[in-house]
Amino acid sequence: MAGQSTMHEQIRQLRENGFVVVPKFIGPDALAKLNEAARAQLVARVQPLEFEADLQYPGAPSSRTAAGGETVRRLLDAYGREPAFAQWGTASFVRDWMETYFGEDSLMSRAHHNCLMTKHPLYGSLTGWHRDIRYWSFEREDLVSAWFALGEEEVDNGGLWFVPGSHRMEFEADRFDEAKFFRADRADNAEIIRTAESPRLAPGDAVFFHCNTLHSAGKNLGDAVKFSLVYTYHGRSNAPKAGTRSTSKPEVELR
């Protein structure tokens, strides 16, 4: 596990680039158990589930009844569905990291992410350029997600791409489409997208990223399902706005 100086350097990188790889976050034994639990839950199709067909991203089946229509995209509520998933989302390293980053007690939101994401070789969709802040309504646009790779993640199996520094960029609303995807068809946006990087993640690595960092992911061109555990955190003073989806589930205190 990282020492204090490593954590401060990671936080510096997140502030500068909008994302940072936290290597070897989960050790081999714990990783084996997480993978076993993840696969068992996918096979048993334990609810609540979100399907590729529900979102209709490029490459997704056209409906739940079309070929591949039952392909799962997310096993929702990772925190509630399996104690080992909850344990890693609330690990003391994550708590210390988030408290140092936010400068105050921190909480996990259960309103979005909080899931085991799967990307299937067949029928797994690609995700266009976006900022995750589109999923939430908080007092301030300052949340951090932690994405834990349960297996290898690289360009060819649908690994994440990030635009370094994009969390600090300001854009007029028309740079995004109606669903708040960053429009790749615009020359000014394309120039920014060209600077993107896709960090290769080894099994057990994590990548932490800011809610305003532009990111995307391709299709899984491999032959195995990719599994990732994803959670999001914020500081106590940055409250979810009343009456929005962000208050729809009780949050998790990290301390």
Ligand X SMILES: O=C(O)CCC(=O)C(=O)O
> What residues make contact with ligand X under the rule CB under 6 A?
117, 119, 127, 132, 158, 215, 217
Cβ 1 to ligand X, closest distance in Å? 26
Instruction: Using the minimum distance from each CB to ligand X, give the nearer residue, 105 or 199.
Output: 199
Cβ 24 to ligand X, closest distance in Å? 21
Cβ 217 to ligand X, closest distance in Å? 3
Q: What is the DSSP letter of 197?
A: B
Do 192 and 162 form a contact (C-beta atoms < 8 A)?
no
- Neighbouring C-alpha atoms within 13 Å toward the C-beta of 150: 25
Q: What is the end-to-end Cα distance of the chain in Å, rounded?
A: 19
Instruction: Using the minimum distance from each CB to ligand X, give the nearer residue, 117 or 192.
Output: 117
Cβ 58 to ligand X, closest distance in Å? 10
Can you tell me the distance from the alpha carbon of 124 to that of 71, in angstroms, rounded to the nearest whole number?
7
Instruction: Using the minimum distance from each CB to ligand X, give the nearer residue, 76 or 252.
Output: 76
Q: Where are the beta strands (DSSP E) in the chain?
A: 19-22, 49-51, 72-76, 106-109, 115-119, 127-130, 144-149, 160-162, 206-210, 215-217, 226-235, 252-253
Instruction: Using the minimum distance from each CB to ligand X, give the nearer residue, 117 or 149.
Output: 117
Give 117's strand partners. 74, 228
Do 127 and 179 form a contact (C-beta atoms < 8 A)?
no
Can you tell me the distance from the alpha carbon of 53 to that of 63, in angstroms, rounded to the nearest whole number?
5
Instruction: Using the minimum distance from each CB to ligand X, give the nearer residue, 18 or 158.
Output: 158
3-state secondary structure of 119: strand
Do 199 and 164 form a contact (C-beta atoms < 8 A)?
no
Cβ 115 to ligand X, closest distance in Å? 8
Instruction: Using the minimum distance from each CB to ligand X, give the nearer residue, 81 or 130.
Output: 130
Cβ 100 to ligand X, closest distance in Å? 24
